Amino acid sequence: MKFFVDTAEVDAIAELNDLGMCDGVTTNPSLIMKSGRDILEVTKEIAAMVSGPVSAEVVALKAEDMIAEGRKLAKIADNIAVKVPLTWDGLKTCNVLSAEGTMVNVTLCFSANQALLAAKAGATFISPFIGRLDDINLDGLDVIDEIRTIYDNYGFDTQILAASIRSVNHAKECAMIGADVMTAPPEIIKKMANHVLTDKGLDAFMKDWAKTGQKIL
């Protein structure tokens, strides 16, 4: 499973990228606001830093305007994936931009039916929001499973990009279901390394090592 980092903070991206833990980046208007940076400037910097897809989101609501914004964003770098919402206008935009050879990430997906439409429209990525479904007492992981089944049934090339990852359990379950990609905040990716038994074992090793009085360096 590929890891996309869900942030516009370049220092956090650089740390994970240096470790080989960053296969791409996703941003959205909220993350751009949090970064305090200009969208074109920070997106260009991120795209130059990583080799994988960098999602940059349109903010228009009508297809004609979305297409214009998408074309402008796509000119930033060859690895830009234009992010559009899963609305009818977003699907129209996806269809046009995909036909032009631009990667498109269709976001704000909450059902398998929506994901099927996005695949038919030529989406490169579909982004189902797990955590937000959990927030309304639905199991977001069920939607990932349903989309995986539908895409496999018909051989769609659209990649399932599991989004709104809130926990390390979400990450594990998405990998087990077969999501192609997950996008998560840097802190979630880093927490995947944590385990109480690892900490306990390391503490025991260090105490025993101290008793030997030895040094390696």
* Catalytic center residues: 83
Contact 161, 182 (CB under 8 A): yes
**Angle, vertex CA 52, rays to CA 115 and CA 126, nearest 5:** 5
Distance CA 176, CA 173 (A): 5
Contact 70, 82 (CB under 8 A): yes
Contact 24, 47 (CB under 8 A): no
Token pair in block for residue 92: 């129209």
How many alpha carbons fall within 13 Å on the CB side of residue 14?
6
| Cβ-Cβ contacts under 8 Å for 182 (sequence gap 6 or more) | 1, 2, 3, 4, 161, 162, 163, 165, 170, 171, 174, 175
Distance CA 60, CA 155 (A): 31
